[in-house]
Amino acid sequence: MAAIMLFLLKCDSRNDFNNKRKDEEFRKNYYRMFRLRLPHMDAVNDMFKNLCDNKMEEIRCRFINSLIEKRVFHKFRFFDKYFYIAIDGTGVYNWGDSPPENIAKHATQKKYDSGKVNYSSQILEAVLVCKNGIKIPLISEWIANESGKNDKQDCELEAFKRLSVRLKNYFPRLNICLLTDGLYTKNPLFDICKQYDWKFITVFKDGNLPSVWEEVESLLPLTARECSCKQQQFAGNYWITRNFQWIKKIEYQKHHVNWIRCIQEKEHSETKEKDENTFVFLTNFDVDRQNIAAILLAGRARWHIEDLFNTLKNRGGALHHKFSRNDFNALKIWHSVRQLVYMMLELLTHTSDVLQMKDKYKITWKELWKNLNAYLSMCSIDEMMEQFEIWILSSRQVRLE
């Protein structure tokens, strides 16, 4: 609970939370809320060193499965069937050239021509992405070498293979559509999705799969009329024109993939200033005039995972802070707790009651958390807890907006 509260209150470090712990009013409020003594963060870290590293993740996945069974996310599905799951990796810790032994044997290495070696830690995330912007971290896979074995470096694609197995085990009956960037536009993605009966929409960049690009370029002139359409709409102050093209059933190493491209042009209605972007994807969805715009929108939803990384790094998640500097197991559990708390906050900030309160008092999320920290350190919550205990007895339904 102390580790969860550390991230709920957006503390930057264990020392930051320990400073709150020194305050008598904060300790009293903590006990009033949880009926638990407030431990020192060093004690929490010592416990994490000996805790099985997947336990916090199991708690999170059971909770998410419960929400899925209650159809909480069903209205945000793709084609009223598929759940978007974005896959991407990010760097989290730079250890320099001399990390602690327990960290060094798991960290990936980069060797320079000068002979210097730099150690770092990266992580691969699977994130449930909803149409309304909700981002729920599902599972994490560390891009890390096995204990003591640095003869072959781990990489993002190998981590993806491990993550896909765990994703299937945690959510065996979920209809999944993977959203990935160009790094994953390779046979392993196609094989895994075929094996598990998953859908995928992956970014297709120049240089990826040359044989597929060659076939696309040869077929485009022949299919220009039958496999193209145009969409125009007015949004904000812009006229948005989208020109779609697609080619179906391109064969690649015993797989058939569908190619789609959208050239989007935005023109300001007053200044006439124009901006043009091109989006290209490969997918195993059957593509036609009726669904190509929806497929493109789903593919572009992958950017939500980048927003999640930005939040964890720059908006109170303290992703780059090393909560354990000499034990890799504890480091993984600190991250699992962080992701659990992010999920809690994401659900909280998208409930209709909380959004209405925020709009009513014209307050930003940053200001709200600042006030919460001040209240817990300076005021007694006894009166608030009495009201809360009465309020919680009545049944209610939480609605996500």
Rounded mean pLDDT, 168-186:
95
Residue-wise pLDDT tens digits, 7-47 = 999 999 999 999 999 999 999 999 988 889 999 999 999 99
Q: How far apart are CA 113 and CA 146, in angstroms?
A: 25
**Residue from 397, 327, 341, 333 nearest 369 by CA:** 341
- Give percent above pLDDT 90 in the chain: 68
Residues 6+ apart with CB under 8 A from 266: 238, 239, 240, 274, 275, 276
Does the pLDDT at position 338 exceed 90? Answer: yes
Residue 264's pLDDT is 94
Does the pLDDT at position 394 exceed 70? Answer: yes
Q: What is the reported pTM?
A: 0.91
333 vs 373, residue with greater confidence: 333
Does the pLDDT at position 148 exceed 70? Answer: no
Residue-wise pLDDT tens digits, 271-294 = 889 999 999 999 999 999 999 999
Residue 129's pLDDT is 94
Does the pLDDT at position 147 exceed 80? Answer: no
Residue 83's pLDDT is 95
Lowest mean pLDDT among 209-213, 263-267, 305-309, 385-389: 385-389
Residue-wise pLDDT tens digits, 242-252 = 999 999 999 99
Lowest mean pLDDT among 129-143, 152-166, 364-378: 364-378
Residue 356's pLDDT is 82
Exposure b/e, 302-338, CB count within 10 A at least 16 = b: bebbeebbebbbeebbbbebbbbeebbbbbbbbbbbb
Rounded mean pLDDT, 312-327:
92
Residue-wise pLDDT tens digits, 47-61 = 999 998 888 889 999
149 vs 267, residue with greater confidence: 267
Residues 6+ apart with CB under 8 A from 288: none
Rounded mean pLDDT, 320-325:
94
Q: How far apart are CA 285 and CA 81, in angstroms?
A: 13
Residue 151's pLDDT is 60
Rounded mean pLDDT, 224-234:
90
* Residue 350: band (very low, low, confident or very high) from pLDDT cuts 50, 70, 90: confident
Residue 89 bridge partners (DSSP): 124
Lowest mean pLDDT among 38-42, 152-156, 208-212, 387-391: 387-391
* Residue 359: band (very low, low, confident or very high) from pLDDT cuts 50, 70, 90: confident
C-alpha angle 188/192/193, rounded to 5°? 120
- Side chain identity at residue 222, one-letter code: L
Residue-wise pLDDT tens digits, 74-92 = 988 888 899 999 999 999 9
Does the pLDDT at position 146 exceed 80? Answer: no
